Structure 1
Amino acid sequence: MNVASASITAAVALLGVVLGGWLSIHNQDRLWQRDHARQWRDIRLAVYKDFVAAYRQYIAFTLEPTANITAVRFPHSPEKLTPFFDQAGRPYKERLETAATAVRLVSESLDTLRAARDVVRSVREIAASRATHSEGALPAEPFQQLWSAQHTFLLAVRAELGLAVLPVGTDEA
């Protein structure tokens, strides 16, 4: 009986060591995945914040009385105008393009990508409109499209990041 008892005790001890090792590895993997997800969430949040800052600065420059913007027909859609900036406005355009590309690189949500694309289209339309209007005579429709696109973008980002839905009455610019 001593040999059988010792064998059972050894087998139980070995099973305990194996199970403990597996649980330790499993817990370490879960911690790594949680930390990895948190890091990517922080990266996405920073990229989305930079995107919002870039398009708002783009709009602010567009509304400057001294902004020199020209517009030409878009090659693939002649009914649309595409804006061109002078040397002073080029950094705003480049920052917007860089931020929009960064959104495309890090976003996991198709809704976020579509909403960011709509924001970029809206701000470009405002800039193209500014090429033919003074800053005080810009039509309201492109701005309404921008506010709508911005709201959709914020909702998509919040959903992607797992944040609560925006409370009612907080969707103003």
Structure 2
Amino acid sequence: MGSTIVTGLVALFGVALGGWLSLRNQDRAWQREHQRQWRDIRLTTCNEFLAADRRYLAYVLDPRASITAIPHPREPGRLMPFFDETGRPYKEALEAGFTAMRLVSERADTVRAGIDLVNQVREVAAARATLSADDIPSETFESLFVAEQGFINAVRIELGLTAMMRQP
């Protein structure tokens, strides 16, 4: 009789342990899938933000672009670029991509790098309001490309990749 009880308890313990291990494995698999999905969302969103940034820059550098700039109300010495109806979709796409990136980013460093990138591309647009694309100082473009590389590296780190070396 005692061995029957022990055998039953051992069998019951085995079933409970097996169920717990199965549940634990399913939970881990769900977490991995959830992380993969968010990684894909972050990659897609950041890629779309970078594409909007590049389209904005291409519009700004187009000789036909109509850009005006006024002094920034809260940042002395800084200009705010404004576009006509042709350029407005580029600005709106950049702003929407920036907002989406901030929404899905997990790391504050990625958001800060995105802010820097947006500020630098706006600097190019503000300069373009009074200068031709050829007359914009090279330092303005250098700052833009440094900000872009910083954003790319921040995204790579957020995605679990290593940062890239600065491109020549």
Give the superposition deviation at 1:165: 2.9
Matched with 2:107 is 109
Indicate whether 1:171 and 2:128 are aligned: no
Q: Structure 2 counterpart of 1:62, which letter?
A: V
Alpha-carbon distance in 1 for matches of 2:124, 2:163: 28
Q: CA-to-partner distance for each residue in 1:15-61, whole Å, 9 max, x for gaps? A: 00000010111001000000000000000000010011000100000
Give the 5 Å matches for 1:53-92: 53-92=51-90
RMSD: 1.0
Percent identity over the alignment is 54
Unaligned runs of 5+ in 1: none
Indicate whether 1:31 and 2:62 are aligned: no
Matched with 1:151 is 149
Matched with 2:39 is 41
Q: Structure 1 counterpart of 2:162, which letter?
A: A
Q: Structure 2 counterpart of 1:14, which letter?
A: L
Q: Could you tell me whether the CA contact under 8 Å between 2:124 and 2:141 is conserved in 1?
A: yes
What's the secondary structure of 1:10's corresponding residue?
helix
Q: Structure 2 counterpart of 1:89, which letter?
A: G
Normalising by structure 1, what TM-score?
Answer: 0.94
Matched with 2:91 is 93
Alpha-carbon distance in 2 for matches of 1:78, 1:148: 23
Unaligned runs of 5+ in 2: none
Alpha-carbon distance in 2 for matches of 1:77, 1:147: 22
Alpha-carbon distance in 2 for matches of 1:81, 1:102: 25
What's the secondary structure of 1:71's corresponding residue?
strand
Alpha-carbon distance in 2 for matches of 1:64, 1:17: 70
Matched with 2:160 is 162
What's the secondary structure of 1:151's corresponding residue?
helix
Matched with 1:4 is 2
Matched with 2:134 is 136
Normalising by structure 2, what TM-score?
Answer: 0.97
Report how many aligned residue pairs link the two structures: 168
- List structure 1 runs of 4+ shifted beyond 2 angstroms: none
Alpha-carbon distance in 2 for matches of 1:119, 1:113: 10
**1:120 equivalent among 95, 118, 121:** 118
